[in-house]
Structure 1
Amino acid sequence: MKLTHLRDVAAVAERGSLRAAARYLGVTQPAITRSIREIERELGVALFERRPKGVVLTPMGELFLRRAVSVMGEVRRAREEIDQARGLSTGQVAVALSSAAQIALLPHVLPGFRKRYPEVVLSIRAGLFPATETPLKDGELDFYVGPLPETATAKDFIVETLFENTRVIMGRHGHPLAGATSLAELTGARWISTAVTVDSRAEFGPLFERYGLPEPVVEMHVESGIAPTLAAASTDLLIMVPEQWLGFAYAPQMLIPFQIREPLPAAAICMVTRARLPLTPAAEHLGDLFRRAAMHYVRAREQRQHSAP
């Protein structure tokens, strides 16, 4: 088995046909066909199912592709690690960030990273841990920064807490419950869930139960991005989001925070990396910048709290 076999399988899977893969790789279609047949013969299984308008992966092909992508990613990282150790500013880094991490940390991270590694391509994926766990495990992502579900396993990962977090309840301007000062006054409201998991109990249940209140009614689940803001701004649904949303440029224009007296704890913001393999120098530098940005954020938050009347 050669790396070209892995490359060809990945190209055919991505492009959907042998011809398109050959064109993408700059080789002949017979060469791609021969490569696929060789690897299928060696494995003893069919990796692709031939169809009139192209090919699709078989179940065995999907299993093989996942490993192939992981192997190619590690080979790429090995080359980049050597190049970066030699002082070259080349390669790529891929990370996944929650909305809170993007708002609170990313603006403080990018200038330093671009200055140190101006030629490294930075790929940023927005999302929460459940959607990024497999790509992280397979090596498509270098690390994740954001909250973790309570059931997340750390067996394959190194989890580092960057800072503890809290939440804020927000609704549209002119919301009929905007004057509420306690959770009890919101028991009749309907909610948008933005939890790390689709189980809204993880987001609302323990908090409301702590104060002897019924569990809220959730009408919508949105993982991250601007969609929760747009949904809450155009309806009477409420959202309970990390406090970092108060610093998001568009949120204050579309939503108002409710001055609820009960504490609203949130899942801590963590950095998650794979346990078995080290980061490249560029990815490690980016991780350090996130750690420094988190320290700066915590200090700034403490100063605001001390100066508040």
Structure 2
Amino acid sequence: MDHIWRLKHFLAIAELGSVQAAARHLNISQPALSKSLRELEQHLGSALFERSSRGVTLTQAGQAFLARSREIELQWDGALFDLTATRDGARGNLRIGVGPTYEAAFMAQVLARLLREFPNLQISVRTGVGAIMLPALNTGEIGIYFGGLRSGTESLASEVREIPLYDQSNRIVAAADDPLAAMAEVGAGALSARAWVQLSYDSLALERIEALFQTAGVPLPRTVVSTHSLGLALDLVRNKGFLTSLPEPLLHPRLGFGLAPLAVPGYDWRIATGISYRTSLAGTAPLKRMIAIVRDELGASGLGPDLVGGLHG
């Protein structure tokens, strides 16, 4: 039993880059964490970190042990979920990744419902696009990812499976009272003359917008704000006359009040979205319930089938 906690201690140090930060995160004393690490290194017969005044870095042995440790932790927590599910509502640590659209549209409701059923779970949530989260899923840094499924240029580890949920449309958006919103068709020339705000993490939208203007032979917009903040982007569109591109679920009245999609020929594209997960969590009670709850929220909220063409998978 001691070794699983030493392994978790090792993972915290590796992820945070210092014993001090890991001790704060784990809510244990720094001397106790240092002792745990020494005992693990003695047991393995190898140094896992190089120490310096700036923190710690993994040795070659530590890098090799990191990948194994993440998979062991996932398997341990998966077993813990199942062994405790019927007794006290499932205990263990669940690390998930959430894409920006799922974060804004679905996940608050999903997590609230899940924790009502499994109040003893500890859930760690990371947010980001698939280009960041899928590699983290491959290495075991997270166990589940809700968001865009892999594209043709991305690969998944053999221990990862996918559940497609819906195809997500993307639209060019203006304020609901913008003159462009009343037009039956909006050409690239009219869009080029306007100020734009772009979500910096949405590389696919950036590529599609650029292609739209290049195909029409009109210049790219001269005034562009690039931001990682969805809230700032929506405020600029609603109140300052900017244009942007958004996933269509964000135009649901609950989220996209004051916004309107524009009828732009040539800008009609979708991406597949769903759930990607490590096989070590397959069949566990929390994962099964999260899948069911996400499907339920997609259907009940109208953010899924009403806007993006229906659920499948």
Considering the TM-score relative to the shorter chain, is it more than 0.5?
A: yes
Matched with 1:113 is 114
Contact 2:94 2:143 in 1 (8 A): yes
User: Equivalences for 1:53-68 in 2 at 5 Å?
Assistant: 55-58=55-58, 60=60, 61-62=62-63, 64-68=65-69
Moved more, 141-150 or 281-290: 141-150
Question: Counterparts of 1:291 and 1:97 in 2: how far apart (Å)?
Answer: 15
Structure 1 vs Structure 2 CA RMSD: 4.0
Q: Pairwise mapping of residues 67-82 of structure 1 onto structure 2 (< 5 A)?
A: 67-82=68-83
Q: How far apart, in 2, do the equivalents of 1:67 and 1:248 lie?
A: 45
> Are 1:17 and 2:19 an aligned pair?
yes
Distance 1:145 1:8 in 2: 27
Bigger shift: residues 25-34 or 151-160: 25-34
TM-fit CA distance, 1:136 = 1.9
Residue aligned with 1:80, SS: helix
SS of residue matched to 2:262: coil
Q: Take 1:36 and 1:105, find their aligned partners in 2: how far apart are those partners?
A: 40
Identify the residue that residue 164 of structure 1 maps to in structure 2.
167
Work out the CA distance in 1 between the residues paired with 2:57 and 2:87. Answer: 40
Q: Tell me, in whole angstroms, the C-alpha distance in 2 between the residues paired with 1:248 and 1:18.
A: 45
Quote the offset at 1:70 in angstroms.
Answer: 3.7
The CA deviation string for residues 142-199 of structure 1, in whole angstroms up to 9 with x for no partner, is 3222224632324543233211222232245776856554132213335333376536
Q: Within the alignment, does 1:203 sit opposite 2:183 as a pair?
A: no
* Partner residue, 2:129: 128
Change (3 A) 1:285 1:207: farther
The residue matched to 2:88 in structure 1 has which SS?
coil
- Which residue does the alignment assign to 1:294? 298
Match of 2:142 in 1: 141
Percent identity between matched residues is 16
- 1:153 is aligned, of 152, 155, 160, to 155
Q: Tell me how far 1:241 sits from its aligned partner.
A: 0.3
8 Å CA contact retained: 1:8, 1:35 = no
Q: Is the 8 A contact 1:164 1:269 kept in 2?
A: yes
Q: Secondary structure at the match of 2:155?
A: coil
Task: Provide the aligned length of Structure 1 versus Structure 2.
Answer: 295
Post-superposition Cα deviations, 1:66-95, rounded to whole Å, max 9, x if no partner, equal 5434422331222222211x3431324333
TM-score by length of 1: 0.73
Tell me how far apart the structure 2 counterparts of residues 98 and 174 of structure 1 sit (CA, whole Å).
Answer: 29
Superposition map of 1:1-309 within 5 A? 2-13=3-14, 14=16, 16-17=18-19, 21=23, 24-25=27-28, 28=32, 31-32=35-36, 34-35=38-39, 37-38=41-42, 42-43=45-46, 45=47, 47-51=49-53, 55-58=55-58, 60=60, 61-62=62-63, 64-84=65-85, 86-91=86-91, 92-106=93-107, 109-110=110-111, 112-148=113-149, 150=151, 151-156=153-158, 157-171=160-174, 181-184=185-188, 185-194=190-199, 198=203, 202-207=207-212, 212-214=216-218, 216-217=220-221, 219-223=224-228, 225-232=230-237, 237-247=242-252, 249=254, 251-253=256-258, 256-262=259-265, 264-275=268-279, 278-296=282-300, 297=302, 298-301=304-307
CA distance in 1, matches of 2:262, 2:126: 32
The CA deviation string for residues 82-123 of structure 1, in whole angstroms up to 9 with x for no partner, is: 211x34313243332233324443466456434432333444
* Cα pair 2:149 2:276 within 8 Å, conserved: no
Conservation of the 8 A alpha-carbon contact between 2:83 and 2:90: no
Are the aligned partners of 1:162 and 1:270 in contact in 2 as well (CA < 8 Å)? yes
Q: Is the 8 A contact 2:149 2:274 kept in 1?
A: yes
Which stretch shows the higher mean deviation, 3-12 or 215-224? 215-224
* Cα distance change of structure 1 residues 116 and 265 upon mapping to structure 2, 3 Å threshold: same
Cα pair 2:173 2:262 within 8 Å, conserved: no
Return the TM-score normalized by structure 2: 0.72
**Separation (CA, whole Å) in 1 of partners of 2:142 and 2:37:** 30
Contact kept, 8 Å, 2:174 with 2:242, in 1: the verdict is yes
Paired with 1:231 and 1:73, the residues of 2 have a C-alpha distance of 42
Please, which runs of 5 or more residues in structure 2 have no aligned partner? none
Structure-2 change in CA distance of 1:42 and 1:129 (3 Å): same
